[in-house]
Amino acid sequence: MKFSSVALVLVALVSSGFAKKTCTPSFDYCADVLISDKGFTEADLKDVLKGTDLENTPLKNVLFHCKNPGDVGHPKKCDNGCQDPKQEGSHSCSV
């Protein structure tokens, strides 16, 4: 393999691991949407929960608030899980 081929493979691998995180500020999101559609990873979301009383809560039971386009926080526990709306917009806790 030539140097340029190796460099190209490395660039592809590195760039694929850094998807752009996006979310609409002031919207609330369930973890599954942040992971599948918004470029966040499970590790990103678990980091948000570190040091909070929700640290050991399953991600499916947490509602995250988008503070900036690539920044979520203000986690809220959803006792019955998080609910995805049919259209783009704020998510909520299941009733």
**Residue type, position 58, single letter:** P
Residue 74 Cα distances to 25, 27, 63, 81, angstroms: 12, 11, 8, 16
Nearest to 35 by CA among 53, 19, 24, 16: 19
Q: What count of other Cβ atoms lies within 10 Å of the Cβ of residue 23?
A: 23
- Cα dihedral across residues 75, 78, 79, 82: positive or negative: negative
Q: What is the pLDDT of residues 40-56, one digit of tens each?
A: 999 999 999 999 999 99
| pLDDT tens digits for range 7-43 | 443 344 344 455 799 999 999 999 999 999 999 999 9
Domain boundaries, the chain: 20-93
Assigned token pair, 60: 């499916």
